[in-house]
């Protein structure tokens, strides 16, 4: 009976030596390396909103990962080493356990959602899913890109924008997005705490870092009580606390 034969008989002698060599390589590693070698690695900067949203997604899914800080202020994202990983020179990037590198936080989060379907970030219903994606896109496509470091630096360098101009510019686009989101939430989930049913998901991954940034740029949040309440409820959860900028190893 084939199943009673030893493993090297069934798979051939050459495969037997490969199996044994792989086992030996694994056992020869230091225990710490052995445990970590299967972890994903997130290239992150503590105050980056897009890295922040990716950390939340990883945490909500209960995934373990290594964190590799990329110091934007020291232009580490422009180094040849990092550009080889992400030619756009932006964080985040996610290295998978086989070395594959993923870039662009929306693509990374969608990858996580498909690869690790437990603890889903999106509703199963197609219309509800499209609504949640649309609310996330209000932030991901129409707000965050306008307030990104390189845009603000460009305005200062080429148009002599002052810090006051930058703060007004940033608050303008955050307020436009938050006004729309407040209305969308009221129609999609009236009376609910989160954007969909009773737990946070994709939208909250995008919202919480954007609120952090709004506070940093001193945007008035009084007109957005629902968004502020979601942010507050999220910060009662470990996944969000662990992802907070000030809780990162590279935080000031
Ligand atoms: N659409 C990209 C945007 C990434 C992005 O803009 N990252 C910022 C930090 S939040 C960055 O690396 N900025 C560096 C720079 O502007 O030079 C994503 O979602 O991953």
Last residue of a domain, one of 115, 142, 177: 115
The whole-number pLDDT of residue 38 equals 67
Q: Are residues 230 and 159 in the same domain?
A: yes
Asked if 132 and 229 sit in the same domain, the reply is: yes
Containing structural domain, residue 110: 39-115
CA 202 to centroid of ligand 1, rounded, Å: 18
pLDDT-based confidence at 140, cuts 50/70/90? very high
The pLDDT score that the predictor gives to residue 238 is: 98
E strand or H helix at 41? strand 40-44
Q: Which residues contact 227 (CB under 8 A, 6 or more apart)?
A: 178, 181, 182, 185, 207, 211, 221
Whole-angstrom distance, CA of residue 117 vs CA of residue 50: 21
CA-closest candidate to residue 173, choices 152, 200, 194, 159: 152
Count the domains in the chain: 2
User: Which ligand 1 atom sits closest to the C-alpha of 70?
Assistant: 12
Q: Which pair of structure tokens corresponds to residue 124?
A: 């199963």
pLDDT at residue number 149: 85
In a domain, 105, yes or no: yes
Ligand 1 atom 12, closest CA: 90
Give yes or no: residues 149 and 243 share one domain.
yes
Alpha-carbon span 15 to 18, nearest angstrom? 5
- Are 107 and 166 in the same domain? no
> What number does the ligand 1 atom closest to the CA of 50 have?
10
149/229 same-domain check: yes
- Most informative mutation of 43, 49, 50, 108 for ligand 1 (most atoms within 8 A of CB): 50
CATH of the domain at 70: 3.40.30.10
> Which residues are near ligand 1 (CB < 6 Å)?
48-50, 72, 77, 90-92, 104-106, 148-150
Give the model confidence (pLDDT) of 23-52 as tens digits: 444 444 444 444 444 699 999 999 999 999
Tens digit of pLDDT for each residue in 57-112? Answer: 999 999 999 999 999 999 999 999 999 999 999 999 999 999 999 999 999 999 99
How far is 200 from 189, CA to CA, in rounded Å?
Answer: 13
| Secondary element (H or E) of residue 67 | strand 65-69
pLDDT for 160-208, tens place per residue? 999 999 999 999 999 999 999 999 999 999 989 999 999 999 999 999 9
Dihedral sign for Cα atoms in the order 76, 67, 207, 234:
negative
Q: What is the pTM of this model?
A: 0.86
Cα separation, 46 vs 249, in Å, equals 8
């Amino acid at each position: 009976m084939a199943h009673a034969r030893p493993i090297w008989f069934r798979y051939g002698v050459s495969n037997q030596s490969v199996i044994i060599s792989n086992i030996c390589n694994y056992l020869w590693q230091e225990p710490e390396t052995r445990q970590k070698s299967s972890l994903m690695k997130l290239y992150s900067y503590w105050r980056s909103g897009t890295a922040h949203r990716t950390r939340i997604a990883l945490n909500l899914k209960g995934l373990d990962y290594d964190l590799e800080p990329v110091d934007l202020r020291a232009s580490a994202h422009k180094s040849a080493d990092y550009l080889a990983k992400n030619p756009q020179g932006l964080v985040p990037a996610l290295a998978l356990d086989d070395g594959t590198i993923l870039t662009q936080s929306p693509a990374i989060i969608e990858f996580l959602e498909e690869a690790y379907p437990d603890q889903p970030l999106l509703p199963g219903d197609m219309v509800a899913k499209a609504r949640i994606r649309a609310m996330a896109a209000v932030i991901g496509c129409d707000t965050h890109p306008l307030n990104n470091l390189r845009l603000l630096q460009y305005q200062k360098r080429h148009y002599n924008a002052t810090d006051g101009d930058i703060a007004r510019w940033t608050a303008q686009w955050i307020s436009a997005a938050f006004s729309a989101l407040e209305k969308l939430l009221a129609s999609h989930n009236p009376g609910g705490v989160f954007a969909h049913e009773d737990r946070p998901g994709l939208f909250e991954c995008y919202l919480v870092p954007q609120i952090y940034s709004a506070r940093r740029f001193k945007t008035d949040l009084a007109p957005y009580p629902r968004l502020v309440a979601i942010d507050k409820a999220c910060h009662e959860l470990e996944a969000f606390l662990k992802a907070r900028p000030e809780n990162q190893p590279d935080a000031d």
